[in-house]
Amino acid sequence: MSATRRSFLKSGLALGGIAATSQLSAPFVRTALAGQSSNSVIFASGEPLTGNWDPTSHTILGQINFEGYVFGRLTKTPMRPENPSEIQYELATGHKVISENILEWTLRQGITFHNGKPFKAEDVKATFEYASQPGKSAWYPGPVDVEIVDDYTVRLNTENHGYPATAYILLASFLPIMSAEDIADGAISQTPNGTGPFKFVEQRGDETIMAAFDDFHEGRPIIDEFRFAYMGDANTRVLALLGGEADIIERLEPEQHDTLAERDGVRVKRTVSTENKYLHFRCNKAPFDDVRLRKAVCHAIDRDLITEILGAAGHASSSYVSPVKLGGSDIANYPTYDPEESQRLLAEAGYPRGNGLPELEYITSTGFYPKTKEYGELITALLQEQGFNVKLTVLETAAWLERIYQPESGEAPGHLVDVGWATGSPEPDLVLRPMWHSSQSLITGFEDAEVDAALDAQQAEGDPAARLKLIEEGVMPKLADKVPSLSLFTSVLIHGMQSNLEGAYFYPNGPIDLSKASYT
């Protein structure tokens, strides 16, 4: 979620470009492709970096990807659909729930930061206390006090802050561990210094240069150099991959996926992401303060058609969170396409065939997510078929971004809003609370005591299995019944890469683990 440069002429032209590169001969050929050393990987990012390296200073997915190379975390969560809540220890070696409000981590020994400073408990304390400050970041549930037991043991304590410490079990995989010194003297925004497989070398225009970190605790990466290059246009990225100027590219359009899949020398990788795309209702203003109308809309939308339009970029799902998150399995009472039910609900709400409804504005974006405009037009047409008087507003990313959230005062614009929500952890609360807990309800303005109670109950549950049950049987059915939003599908990340590049792991929120990657 951030402003990207408008990229257009995407897929079609990328393919055009393919023709252009492969057939270009004399005099206009782009000369020498960037001298590609066999041990260097260039990643073409669809989003730029901000230039402020403090991981808590932004919400930009591109920069979160970057942090994946430089920083380490207490844990890793590979988020495979078959076992979403699997935890692998990285900087930690174990965790223990001491009580509802105290969570203990034991830390790995013998790890150093890129600047040579040894990693110890003080760094975890500084990082957690810094990142969880109120107003610092919306990702964390609230402030936390960290006690240092010894150099390699810490305890997160939330007793004074009114929420359970267990909330950090899954969140730990999302927070880059910074050096306590850097936080204290502010160096963190000037130079990225972590424990990750690659260390920052320099910023050269739109390229961020990194080198293998010799003392990486899992063993020095096979790749010597890694470059993070910003290429805002999807078409440019595809051309760069085909021309050898990039080795991995991200954010492909579905058409580009289909074409690249058939080509030699390159590979495509689909990864079901942590991001669901939602049709959010403005629940705190007429007419969608009436649950019957929200349901009528849900039953008017044929989600199969949407996934058909999305092709390789969409994964059908019927839940409020992605299947790679805890509790993301399909919900039994999730609304399905049922025009008759839609009509019945419309009539019941006092608007037979939609008569008497005001004009409804449906706000969506273009240039960032794949196919939003296409399926936006489809949803508009499906709703109009049932008699809803819907007007579609397609906005550039920047303009859309400033309209999606509930303002501090006054009414939010529009009645229906298309927004995706991607987070780098299997933790479902990263979605559930900001979206539908009345304390936040960032977009919907939804307030419901039952949903709040169900959300609080699962958060307070320390036992993962019991918690999963509370989410699947308590939270999700209630949401599906009150439909403050309709989750349309789960996004699929599409990466393209040189086919001789092996051993990369693609996380469902975008970052790529290249610490074991190499060319064959």
Partner 1 sequence: MAFVLTFLLRRLSQGIVIVLLVGFVIFSLLRIVPGDPVRIMVGPMATEEQVEQIAEELGLRDPLPVQFGRYLSDLARGDLGNSFIKATSGASVAGGRDDGSAARAQVLDLIVAAIPFSALLAGLGVLLALIFSIPLGIAAGLYPNGWIGRATFAISSVFVSLPNIWLGILLILIISVQLGWLPAIGYKGVAYAVLPAIVLAVELSAVIVRALASSVAATMQENFVQAGIVRGLTMRHMITHHVLRNSAIPMLNLFGAQLGGLLLGSLFVVEYIFNYPGLGLLTVNAVFQRDFPVIQGVAILTTAVLVLINILVDLISAGIDRRLQY
Partner 2 sequence: MSGLSSQFWHSVNGRMLRAAWARPQFKVALVFLIALIALAVLLPMLSSVSATTISVRDRFAPPVLWEGGTASHLFGTDQLGRDLLLRSLIGLRNALVIGVVSVFGMFVLGALIGIISGYRGGIVDTVLMRITDAQMSIPVIILAITILGVSRPTPFSVILVLILAGWPTYARVIRSVTLTESRKEFVRAAKIIGAGPLRIMFRHIAPNILPPVAFIAVLDVARMMIFEAIFGFIGIGIQPPVPTFGNILADGTKYLINAWWITVVPGLFLFAALISLNLIGSALESARNDVLGGRNQ
- Applying CB under 8 A, the residues found at the interface with partner 1 are 1-9, 12-13, 15-17, 19-24, 27-28, 30-31, 48-52, 54, 57-60, 63, 135, 137-138, 189, 203, 205-206, 230, 233, 235-236, 239, 396-399, 401-402, 404-405, 408, 442
Pair of tokens at residue 42? 């260039």
DSSP 376: H
3-state SS of 66-134 is HHHHHCCCCEECCCECCECCCCEECCEEEEEEEECCEEEEEECCCCECCCCCECCHHHHHHHHHHHCCC
Other C-beta atoms closer than 10 Å to the C-beta of 338 total 16
Residue 59 interacts with, from partner 2, partner 1, none (CB under 5-8 Å by kind):
partner 1
> Which of residues 5, 292, 373, 516 is near partner 2 by CB under 8 A?
373
Residue 287: is the preceding peptide bond cis (ω within 30°)?
yes
Piece of the chain touching partner 2 by CB under 8 A; list 153-161, 222-230, 349-357, 379-387: 379-387
Alpha-carbon gap, residue 246 to 241, rounded angstroms: 5
Give the DSSP letter string of 392-418.
EEEEEHHHHHHHHSPPSSSPPS-SEEE
Name which of residues 194 to 253 contact partner 2 (CB under 8 A).
Answer: 253
Q: Does 366 bind partner 2 (CB under 8 A)?
A: yes
Residue 233 interacts with, from partner 2, partner 1, none (CB under 5-8 Å by kind):
partner 1
Find, among 185, 328, 245, 209, the residue nearest to 30 by Cα: 245
Find, among 136, 141, 176, the residue nearest to 162 by Cα: 141
Residue 20 interacts with, from partner 1, partner 2, none (CB under 5-8 Å by kind):
partner 1
Pair of tokens at residue 473? 């049987």
Q: Does 392 bind partner 2 (CB under 8 A)?
A: yes
Residue 253 interacts with, from partner 1, partner 2, none (CB under 5-8 Å by kind):
partner 2
Q: How far is the CB of 483 from partner 2 (least distance, A)?
A: 23
Find, among 47, 60, 46, 188, the residue nearest to 130 by Cα: 188
Contact 234, 453 (CB under 8 A): no
Pair of tokens at residue 355? 């008569």
Q: How far is the CB of 25 from partner 1 (least distance, A)?
A: 9
Q: What is the chain's alpha carbon radius of gyration, rounded to the nearest angstrom?
A: 24
Burial label for 31, CB within 10 Å (0-12, 13-18, 19+), is: exposed
Q: How far is the CB of 15 from partner 2 (least distance, A)?
A: 4
Looking at the Cβ atoms of 282 and 437, the one nearer to partner 2 is: 282
Q: At what angle do helices 291-300 and 339-348 cross, to 10 degrees?
A: 160
Piece of the chain touching partner 2 by CB under 8 A; list 185-193, 374-382, 479-487, 489-497: 374-382
Binding track over 298-327 against partner 2, x by CB under 8 A = -------x--xx------------------
Q: Does 377 bind partner 2 (CB under 8 A)?
A: yes
3-state SS of 267-293 is EEEEEEEEEEEEEEECCCCCCCCCHHH
The phi, psi pair for 115, rounded to 5°, reads -90, 5
Q: Does 8 bind partner 2 (CB under 8 A)?
A: yes
Q: How far is the CB of 16 from partner 2 (least distance, A)?
A: 6
Name which of residues 467 to 496 contact partner 2 (CB under 8 A).
Answer: none
Residue 308 interacts with, from partner 1, partner 2, none (CB under 5-8 Å by kind):
partner 2
Q: Does 380 bind partner 2 (CB under 8 A)?
A: yes
Looking at the Cβ atoms of 182 and 472, the one nearer to partner 1 is: 182
Residue 50 interacts with, from partner 2, partner 1, none (CB under 5-8 Å by kind):
partner 1
Q: How far is the CB of 508 from partner 1 (least distance, A)?
A: 21
Residue 285 interacts with, from partner 1, partner 2, none (CB under 5-8 Å by kind):
none
Range 355-374 burial, b when 16+ CB lie within 10 A, else e: eebeebbbbbbbbbbbbbbe
Pair of tokens at residue 51? 């230039």
Q: How far is the CB of 482 from partner 1 (least distance, A)?
A: 24
Residue 40 interacts with, from partner 2, partner 1, none (CB under 5-8 Å by kind):
none
> Which of residues 4, 11, 75, 329 is near partner 2 by CB under 8 A?
11
Task: Find all residues with CB under 8 Å of 162, minimum gap 6, and list them.
Answer: 142
Q: How far is the CB of 136 from partner 1 (least distance, A)?
A: 9
Looking at the Cβ atoms of 211 and 238, the one nearer to partner 2 is: 238
Contact 274, 410 (CB under 8 A): no
Residue 230 interacts with, from partner 1, partner 2, none (CB under 5-8 Å by kind):
partner 1
Residue 137 interacts with, from partner 1, partner 2, none (CB under 5-8 Å by kind):
partner 1
Alpha-carbon gap, residue 350 to 337, rounded angstroms: 21
DSSP 249: E
Burial label for 388, CB within 10 Å (0-12, 13-18, 19+), is: buried
> Which of residues 316, 378, 401, 457 is near partner 2 by CB under 8 A?
378
Interface ranges with partner 2 (CB under 8 A): 8-13, 15-16, 253, 255, 259, 305, 308-309, 366, 373-374, 377-378, 380-382, 391-394, 396
